[in-house]
Structure 1
Amino acid sequence: MTTVAEHQAAVRALAEAALRGAAEDVPLGAALGRILAADVTSAIDLPPFDNSQMDGYAVRAGDFNRLSPDAGTGPLRVTGHIAAGDPITAFAGGAAAIMTGAPLPPGADAVVPVEAVGGPGTFAAVGESIELHEPVAPGAFVRARGSDLAAGDTVLSAGTLLGPAQLGALAASGLTTVAVRRRPRVLIVSTGAELTAPGEPLAPGAIYDANAIALAAAVTQAGGTALATGVYSDEPEHLRVALDAAGPVELVVTSGGVSAGAHEVVRETLGPLGVRFGSVALQPGGPQGLGTIDISGFPTPVLCFPGNPVSALVSFELFLRPLLRGSRPTTHLPLAASVESPIGKHQVRRGRITTDHTVELVGGPSSHLLAAYARSDALVHLPEGVAHVAAGEPVEVWRIDE
């Protein structure tokens, strides 16, 4: 039996190159949720000039402190008024009224908040004097040039998921476009004669197909382009027709038909083509297959997941999502209640993180409990060799709500 780590390595070796193809440049406004294809460096310092952190007065700290070295007080004449967006001009001495974000005039080295002199928003006119009541430290309330990033520094590294803050940082660096990974096309094929498309009448003994939409959503959320179809049959020729009609894709993912029983359509169809099937020491999700098949004249990697909905989603999380989007956020939390686990398998339970920073299990270990999965916000890992975890003991937890 293959370990989880061994199967993860095999999937990576099979599919990583196909899923990380050429890059494409897209406008920043269209890059939300995309994966950065290369490191991005800043062409400018951020911020690009010294500027004020507060509404207040720009001063030269040494000048002020010399006025009254004992008490730290003294009058200063207001010599200017600087707003955000004004050009950078030399410091005329004394105190210059300055707004948040406005450029600090060369020669000044500190800002005194307006509240320390008078009421908020109340500024003395040019030519008037202000009374400062405390010593001023050089650099006080100044955002120094390059204090966020220096020109030539890396803004973001390749592989970064682009969210609002990341796109803002790129825009602040002056970029309008960014190189991102192309969205890999992933064909999802849900199989089984027992399946019925949602919305259709449900015959006795049939179930609705949850895997096509669930796996397609998982691929889309992870940065791929999902093409989903259902083969509601156990006849190999029906599966072959669906694969032949797919067109070029970077990856095929099937669900169902991979166990050792009769009527295993995926195993019967793809096994003779060289796809390998076997058991992984995983619960749920033990039966797995992988290999390369011909799709529209191109050798295409294929991953074969089990058909039970929780098994299919857990398989996606452990084996495919890391290649599309990277690893899930991981932490270690104490269990809210004790749990048993098969000692020879890596068990993945569904859970919910509580307000007291423990993790409670949701539903049982069975692979059909999709509604329990839907109420969960975490996957709880109980590795091989662990038969029992007591309440309060820490376990590895993957957040699946981020």
Structure 2
Amino acid sequence: MAQFIDRRLNPRDKSLGNRQRFLRRTRAEVRRAVDKAVAERSIADAGNGGAVSIPTDGIGEPQFHLSGDSGEHERVLPGNKDFVAGDRIDKPKGGGGGSGRQGADSGGGEDPFSFALSESEFLDILFEGLELPDLVKASLKEVSKREFRRAGYTNDGATPNLAVLRTMRASMSRRLALRRPTAASVERLEEELAALRAKSEPGVADQLRVAELYAEIERLKRMQRAIPFIDPIDVRYNRFAPTIVPRAKAVMFCLMDVSASMGEREKDLAKRFFILLHLFLKRKYGRVDIVFIRHTHEAAEVDEQEFFYGRATGGTAVSSALKTMIAVRDKRYPSADWNVYCAQASDGDNSASDTGDCVALLREAILPQTQYYAYIEIAEEDGGLRYGGGGDKDLWRGYAQLKPAAPNFALARVVGREDIYPVLRELFARQAKEGAAR
């Protein structure tokens, strides 16, 4: 079993263990500040980062100090010329001296600790603890994105792409095949020649050997010049070829009831839910397409401007939107190539007969090919249906039948703007790792 020993030195006047706990405690405060910021600011600005404030009492580090209430203390205090023991001292009149800003007329305390978060840091904390099911499919491809990747070697190329190791291996193979003399072999012959020439009285055999050494050294050097150490045919360069990179891509279907029962408040809450959900998907997928489908008694695919701000009246038939979504999905977004997500917003009004058709469409044609289907019902402002109390509407009762048998289906109620982010966290909460528990 591996053991890790932390040998980092403690910071000046700090305990490393206390410091780590301080950082963890501060992160919790920052997370709460981010949650509060999301509830207060518009959802369109949720991912722009910005300044957050946390209370100063949440960032203090534990410290050791001497206690003034216990122990023995010996002090020498200066005397005075005006008072003796037992004298009563009048309260000073007016404010103290000095210059500065005028103090508050009541209370005291400290300003909150404020600091700026970048967009990336803000989004990391915003989506911490959230997880999408079945995030990446193995067969997903995004043909529009290309990257240059290593693709072997080539004899032509730029100097920065020179493959030094492969070049030296080719050079050595060529020199061994052509039996090029090594520098060590030439040096041995030259040393032997120098030793013979150093003799004061060389014999006939020595003179003959000197002549042979001269001829052999000259032959080896000619071979070295004829067979260079590195030849242009040895040079190799790293080759890079454009390659299609696999990318995860998703489509988000936004379905909304725009009948007369859906007022401006309901549409505004639905819009904020869609925006935040899209922002979350963009953090998880390389490409996210959005399809807007609005419906009354009939449905149509529209652009974003028409989806949120168009004027349409009529009855309510939710099944028309589901049928339109199925048609668009089968035509442009097959589930074999796309991760399909659906978000539906409604006030819950629907006829009982049409609700049965909706349940059948979801069970048979939509949920089996959908990664996740989120339905939010925008309840009345009095909050009577906020926590699933009595008086459920037809669409909610029908959808509630699907929940036990469909793990990729979720439904929740929204009353006010502050409920949107908590509902998103509830719909996409990180599930416990069942495998680890088992």
Q: TM-score, normalised by structure 2?
A: 0.27
Radius of gyration: which is bigger?
A: 2
Task: Give the strand-richer structure, 1 or 2.
Answer: 1
Q: TM-score, normalised by structure 1?
A: 0.28
